[in-house]
């Protein structure tokens, strides 16, 4: 390697990794059976499965809190057993469910645990602590000197993530990192973490028992079943659309079609153009445009092409100009990044057939309808049936 600095992200490879426990032992972590998978650099790989499936065991073998019975784990092609265990652990970020912050240290001290162990100068430690607190959304001036007992569960989880990132490790291990907080906070932490990861691009191994979290967080999902057997490994879309076994199908749940909705975004669909008319347009022109519209409504927009409301064809006066008074209440506004699940929910809630897709500046882009989402779903269901091999070849038409 030419660069002296550590790589930002590393590849993690499990090669036929097995961990057996004495069956006579009273309480053991889940065993792992011949696990082979590769997590490419910069990706989030979620290990998911029921309790006792060996997902946490697999994770802890990466930083050698547990040593495998047989097989190898390689980081950037190097067997971790050849590395000094302390140095290995300091090069891997570690986040656990109960966070494990040190109660006797301030938040600032907690965050720079690994830099302190590595002997960074004090000033650099302080600067890094502030930088990381800001990164995870905690105002350094008001959090730096507090103790963990003074923080809420969600705040502690953030500190846990900041601490794991402190020495800029190329790999992070996260064991149910958002498991101990309420669903609302969890959702927010997940979203924030995904946004962080877009910049950080670390290699992340993430353990959860929650399939929804796995699908949301993972670039890759490894579904493990009891006995530590890898049931399926692939992108979440593939797990949902083509479960490899009955176990996976049952584990992802009967609502996997709906789950697929949360994976796809409005921008993934082929959207229809929307027929608009600016305020002040002559009604004759409005009628002419209406002839080409797929629905008997025109979308009234302002001079910046921002939506104001719908104008039904019946309400267009015989002569004069189109005015704002004609507009009836708006459809929900979505953008291309809205998930289909949210889009469908908004359309159902608003009790309208069509939603308006707008860009960053709220300018009208296109139209999305419940029918379009339903059509997309049908295509997906057809895919699944083909995979199961129980249905006749599906006809997918446009």
Distance, CA of 87 to CA of 11 (rounded, Å): 17
In the list 89, 156, 216, 260, the residue contacting other proteins (rule: CB under 8 A) is 89
CB of 88 to other proteins, least distance (A): 8
Is 310 buried (19+), middle (13-18) or exposed (0-12) by CB count in 10 A?
Answer: buried
Note the residue count of the chain: 398
Q: Which of 173, 357, 368, 373 binds other proteins (CB under 8 A)?
A: 173
88 binds other proteins (CB under 8 A): yes
Nearer to other proteins, 90 or 216 (CB): 90
- Determine the Cα–Cα distance for residues 272 and 294; give it in Å rounded to an integer: 9
From 3-11, 57-65, 183-191, 380-388, give the range in contact with other proteins by CB under 8 A: 57-65
Q: Is 181 in the site for other proteins (CB under 8 A)?
A: no
Angle in degrees, CA 86, 87, 89, rounded to 5 = 65
H-helix or E-strand spanning residue 79: strand 78-79
Binding residues for other proteins, how many (CB under 8 A)?
29
Q: Judged by CB under 8 A, which stretch of 58-66, 132-140, 280-288, 320-328 contacts other proteins?
A: 58-66
Which residue is it, tokens 């890094």? Answer: 128
Rounded to the nearest angstrom, the gap between the alpha carbon of residue 398 and the centroid of all alpha carbons in its chain is 30
**125 vs 232 by CB, closer to other proteins:** 125
Picking from 47, 18, 48, 46, the residue whose alpha carbon sits closest to that of residue 34 is 18
Per the CB < 8 A criterion, the answer to whether 357 and 368 are in contact is yes
293 binds other proteins (CB under 8 A): no
Structure token digits, residue 78: 């190097």
Cα–Cα distance, 354 to 369 (Å, whole number)? 4
**Tokens 């009891």 belong to which residue?**
226
- The residue within the footprint of other proteins, chosen from 8, 126, 146, 336 (CB under 8 A), is 146
- We find the least distance from the C-beta atom of residue 143 to other proteins, in angstroms, to be 10
Provide CB contacts within 8 A for 140, sequence distance 6+: 108, 129, 130, 133, 134
- Residues 315-354, one symbol each (x = binds other proteins by CB under 8 A, - = not), give ----------------------------------------
Least distance in angstroms from the C-beta of 85 to other proteins: 8
- Taking CB under 8 A as the rule, which mask of x and - marks residues 90-129 in contact with other proteins? x---x-xxxxxxxxxx-------xx--x------------
Binding track, positions 63-82, relative to other proteins; x by CB under 8 A: x-x-----------------
Positions in the binding site for other proteins (CB under 8 A): 60, 63, 65, 86-90, 94, 96-105, 113-114, 117, 146-150, 163, 173
């Amino acid at each position: 390697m030419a660069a002296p600095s550590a790589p930002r992200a590393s590849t993690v490879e499990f090669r036929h990794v097995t961990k057996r426990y004495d069956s006579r032992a009273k309480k053991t972590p889940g065993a792992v059976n011949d696990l082979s998978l590769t997590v490419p650099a910069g990706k989030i790989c979620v290990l998911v499965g029921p309790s006792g499936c060996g997902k946490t065991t697999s994770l802890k073998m990466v930083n050698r809190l547990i040593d495998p019975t047989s097989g190898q784990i390689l980081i950037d092609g190097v067997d971790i057993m050849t590395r000094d265990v302390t140095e290995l652990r300091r090069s891997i970020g570690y986040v656990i469910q109960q966070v494990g912050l040190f109660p006797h240290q301030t938040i600032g001290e907690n965050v720079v645990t690994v830099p302190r162990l590595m002997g960074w100068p004090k000033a650099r430690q302080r600067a890094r602590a502030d930088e990381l607190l800001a990164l995870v959304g905690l105002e350094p001036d008001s959090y730096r000197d507090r103790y963990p007992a003074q923080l809420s569960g969600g705040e502690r989880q953030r500190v846990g993530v900041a601490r794991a990132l402190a020495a800029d490790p190329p790999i992070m291990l996260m064991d149910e990192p958002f498991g101990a907080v309420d669903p609302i906070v969890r959702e927010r932490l997940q979203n924030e973490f995904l946004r962080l990861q877009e910049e950080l691009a670390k290699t992340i191994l993430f353990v959860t028992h929650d399939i929804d979290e796995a699908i949301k967080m993972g670039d890759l999902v490894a579904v493990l079943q009891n006995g530590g057997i890898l049931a399926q490994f692939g992108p979440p879309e593939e797990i949902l659309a083509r479960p490899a076994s009955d176990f996976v199908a049952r584990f992802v749940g009967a609502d996997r079609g709906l789950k697929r909705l949360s994976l796809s975004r409005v921008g993934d669909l082929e959207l229809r153009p929307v027929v608009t008319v600016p305020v002040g347009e002559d009604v004759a022109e409005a009628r002419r445009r209406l002839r080409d519209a797929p629905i008997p409504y025109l979308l009234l927009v302002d001079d910046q092409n921002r939506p104001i409301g719908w104008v039904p064809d019946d309400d267009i006066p015989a002569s004069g100009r189109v005015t704002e008074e004609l507009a009836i209440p708006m459809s929900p506004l979505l953008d291309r990044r809205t998930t289909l699940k949210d889009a469908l929910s908004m359309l159902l809630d608003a009790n309208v057939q069509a939603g308006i897709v707008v860009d960053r500046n709220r300018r009208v882009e296109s139209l999305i309808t419940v029918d379009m989402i339903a059509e997309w779903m049908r295509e997906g269901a057809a895919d699944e049936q083909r995979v199961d091999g129980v249905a006749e070849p599906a006809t997918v038409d446009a």
